[in-house]
Structure 1
């Protein structure tokens, strides 16, 4: 199941792998702005002699043609950064872009996939099938995967595999359990309209601030009292915009939030209840409500066969002790759009190490990774592709 030459190649290229990741980390680009990152990937693939095509407006799809006929497996790595200010500026490879940072590890994903491609390309004549390489933009806005699917990323693909570096589990550990992994992630906006007026004359007004506050303080029973407690779900109000001046009663209030869950019927129910609840709260005060509910990513549900194969590959490549079972997260991942098309799985590779200060949460300004985890991720990409094609 494990290709020894691939293992040796990943080990040989470990310093280059770290260098690639650091260069990408220092030059972050936001979603749909990954122009230089796209050029960087293309140049690297050209050097390896791997055929590729650019996707629009950014991103790359490449393919390693095996020397023998067989299936096609896709490997995906995302590459966009976040609008986060880097706080650990003492790092030699800290972001050069003010207010932009690779605070989620996508720099690592891109670097790992490039080195995995390099190792697989060296044994391509032995491959019974093809390896599709997907360097995806715009994961952070949940748009990139869907756009690349529309541009043919998984056409002719039999299986798809992705990795996310994960600071919440110890370095080198690999988690990929069958079933739910990441939750669906939806956005809602509620606009309440009352009747504004002078702050000294509330009897003539309908205070949108009061209406919105009542909604925020009381909306949680949609989760706690209307859905099965064995179906996990989260409803979070993250933003409220209300009022224009200290002595003016607000006419409008806008609330923004997110809903996360794993079950499609639970998702439908929450959307319906959210609208119903907003209407009823508004009616209670004589106001009106308008709800906009936008569905983002689907839940990431790992295929049983694929997830079990990841565990077997990890155990054989790194030892039984690396196999880890992380609980499903309410975080969202647009890898789900690939799984809507073909079976596959999404693994977490641990990079948390307190001795190296790499246990900060994803999206935090001090986020960093234990770079010892890079080789684990790169080899897992490559060995999974080899194992799947040889199954």
Structure 2
């Protein structure tokens, strides 16, 4: 099932792939601002002879129809995200360090884009042998969890039979591949709560309703939503990440705003936590004589890998790189909007390790010192291409 021409093409183009990644790393663009990256991808695919179109306002969809596709040929989609983060680069000694102050590819999307371009180039080499179609999705705005949904709305998976994505992962060793069936990434939601009390002089609390006390009480008590109302076998996290309260040291606060996130894998648990946040907020406020207004914003769905697709990734990885590369990574509470593709078609999402202490590439994603062990990119690029080849040849 492994195509040796793909393997050789990836090796032959490894240096070019690394240079593409370094170019993108030095020129990061934030979510929905990836105009230069979009143009670069369009030009690269066009030079390969791959038909492509820009999506609005950024993003690219390309398609390579195999010479043996026929009427019964299937279509497999390969996805890479392109956006950077509002993070200050701390690796200033790198020759390819970010040129944009306060912006950085701190999650590996530069590598994803370069890997998928290399995979596309390798598949063009065997175009006449492909018994189906490969669609290349270069997605914007993953970091704000809106890009995949927009791509789906613009036809990214119309006519697609299977979707596959990869994320470079600094938490596991370089070259390792993890893709277990079932939950992979959690759903990621946002909640915002406004507590209203009655302000007044700090020396006369009896005439006031202190919004800071209401909000603080909520923050302390809300963890019991998970610890005491959710089945312990259903993983969930409720985190309050931001609190804004008060205006002056001697003024009792009338208003308090908090923001946080909810992560879980089970839809019923998700519904339950949303309801409980409303109950906890309203009742906590009522105890002190205040009120609460809750806004719950659903973000990404949980990424649930289809069994057959995940097993195909494991098979392809073992055949291409040896069984030792397979890594049993536990599901993460991180969010990934690849879930919106899996809502439409079967597929899976794999992690390719790039953690290497000797190269200082073990830093957590979104950290200012995050970097990619570029040796891992060959693994990622080949996994993209070999998965497409294997799926179409099933």
Q: Same fold (TM over 0.5)?
A: yes
**Aligned equivalents of 1:250, 1:267: Cα separation in 2:** 32
Determine the structure 2 residue equivalent to 1:241: 244
TM-score (structure 1 length as normaliser)? 1.00
**Other structure's SS at 2:74 match:** strand
Alignment: residue pair count: 391
Determine the structure 2 residue equivalent to 1:367: 370
Determine the structure 2 residue equivalent to 1:159: 162
Question: Structure 1 residue 247: deviation in Å?
Answer: 1.0
Alignment RMSD, CA only? 0.4
Question: Structure 1 residue 207: deviation in Å?
Answer: 0.5
1:256 to 2:292 alignment: no
1:329 to 2:332 alignment: yes
Residue by residue, what CA displacement relative to the aligned partner does 1:164-193 show, whole Å, maximum 9, x if unpaired?
A: 000000000000000000000000001000
Determine the structure 2 residue equivalent to 1:11: 11
Aligned with residue 121 of structure 1, among 91, 110, 124: 124
**Aligned equivalents of 2:277, 2:51: Cα separation in 1:** 48
Question: Structure 1 residue 89: deviation in Å?
Answer: 0.7
**Aligned equivalents of 2:328, 2:11: Cα separation in 1:** 26
Question: Structure 1 residue 15: deviation in Å?
Answer: 0.4
Determine the structure 2 residue equivalent to 1:43: 43
Q: Trace 1:176-255 onto structure 2 (pairs within 5 A).
A: 176-255=179-258
**Aligned equivalents of 2:99, 2:205: Cα separation in 1:** 51
Determine the structure 2 residue equivalent to 1:87: 90
Question: Structure 1 residue 218: deviation in Å?
Answer: 1.0
Structure 2 gap ranges (5+): none
Question: Structure 1 residue 374: deviation in Å?
Answer: 0.5
Structure 1 gap ranges (5+): none
**Other structure's SS at 2:243 match:** strand
Determine the structure 2 residue equivalent to 1:66: 66
**Other structure's SS at 1:362 match:** coil
Residue by residue, what CA displacement relative to the aligned partner does 1:295-344 show, whole Å, maximum 9, x if unpaired?
A: 00000000000000000000000001001110000000000000000000
Aligned with residue 356 of structure 1, among 354, 359, 364: 359
**Aligned equivalents of 2:334, 2:369: Cα separation in 1:** 19
Q: Which runs of 4+ in 1 moved over 6 A?
A: none
Question: Structure 1 residue 47: deviation in Å?
Answer: 1.1
Question: Structure 1 residue 239: deviation in Å?
Answer: 0.1
